[in-house]
Structure 1
Amino acid sequence: MTVSALLLIDIQNDYFPSFTRAKMPLPHMDAASAQAAHLLAAARRSGTIVIHVKHVMASDAAPFFHPGTPGSELHESVAPQSEETVIEKTRPNSFVGTKLQELLREAQVEHLTICGAMSQMCIDATVRAAVDLGFKVTLAHDACAAATVEHDGVTASSDMVQAAIMAPLAASYAEVQRASECVARLQG
């Protein structure tokens, strides 16, 4: 039997438009977290390993996720239970500078279900790294949120960024599914 884990990445207050002091509100973050909460509940019911990843910026000059602030805290919709692991990271890739790979290997995890934010940064970096490390990955795309970005005078909406990230991940890295499909798989 394949051992699986659910990774909830950076579902933190600073990303939520509904959090009054949000420093980096993402469109669709509230909807994404609601889907992540469904995944989390299914993982808990099925006994799937749950790991929360929390981004804490190393510098006070960073635009968001300042250490010790309410904005850097994990959102209440996916609050960890005492037996669940919380890993803090300072880079987009959840494996860099953390014990994530070690914890997964010790638990003999082969498959990861991933959700969270931001799709174009920490989700993309972590999914690609996980596959490069030999894990099979399922990405719950509607339990992820992206930012609207601008480059060289071109603005890409969060919806366009989401599609531009999910399409190549689906082509070469992960099984990209709706959260409801992931829930059905977890419930087996």
Structure 2
Amino acid sequence: MLVIDMQNDFCSPAGAMAALGADVQVNTAVAGRLPSFLDRARHAGCLVVWVRQAAHEQLVSPARRARAEAMGRSPLSVCAAGSWGAELAEGLRPEPGDCHLEKTRYSAFVGTPLHNLLRAHGRDHVVVVGTAANVCVDSTIRDAYMADLATTMPTDLVGWTRADLAEAAIRNLGFYFCETTTSAELLSDWSVVDRAA
């Protein structure tokens, strides 16, 4: 279970994205639904991996700086390393046994030990939740597919700040790169497996 970027700057009305004029309501709602879902996922045997974005001055390339400036912001304005904005959103509490990764690019696979972590735990299927459907979730799912990992995206647990871009991304991901489902359908599947065991 990869939980992508569920951080204050993306989910809180007091965070950086909201301050930049983005509508974070969908992300806030996803953050509210995640705790009970993750409890059930752990019970079903899922390894929960919290993946957080962190912006470091030393790791900002000219290309990244140019893209941020084109969007009207500094490359350090969202999820600056060590800031309140980079912390998990209110109500999200990791449990003992969960894993934690910091990423500095959109994909959770770029520049992180995620491949090694999954191998160490014998996992070849990832469920991706979090935000944003058209950016970090999209990039992570594409890389999971390219790494031959089975991938599932419960669409009601994926957020965004741009519905027009996110909805197109979800359709595209579901056609080419992953299975799309809902959290209720996943929980039902897990219950069937649990009863069979």
Task: Place the TM-score, normalised by the shorter chain, in its bin.
Answer: 0.7 to 0.9
In the alignment, which of 3, 7, 26 is matched to residue 8 of structure 1? Answer: 3
In the TM superposition, what are the counterparts of 1:1-188 in structure 2 within 5 Å? 6-18=1-13, 20=14, 22-25=15-18, 26-59=24-57, 61-148=75-162, 158=163, 160-187=164-191, 188=193
Identity %: 26
Gaps of 5+ in 1: 1-5, 149-157
RMSD between superposed Cα atoms in Å:
1.6
SS of 1:142's equivalent in the other structure is helix
1 CA distance for matches of 2:181 and 2:119?
Answer: 25
Give the C-alpha shift of residue 61 in structure 1: 4.4
2:66 aligns with none
* Contact 1:51/1:85, CA 8 A, preserved across alignment: yes
Greater strand fraction, Structure 1 or Structure 2: 1
Gaps of 5+ in 2: 19-23, 58-73
* Contact 1:34/1:143, CA 8 A, preserved across alignment: no
* Contact 2:109/2:140, CA 8 A, preserved across alignment: yes
What count of residue pairs does the alignment treat as equivalent?
Answer: 171
1 CA distance for matches of 2:121 and 2:86?
Answer: 28
2:187 partner amino acid: V
Give the C-alpha shift of residue 8 in structure 1: 0.5
Find the structure with the greater CA-based Rg: 2
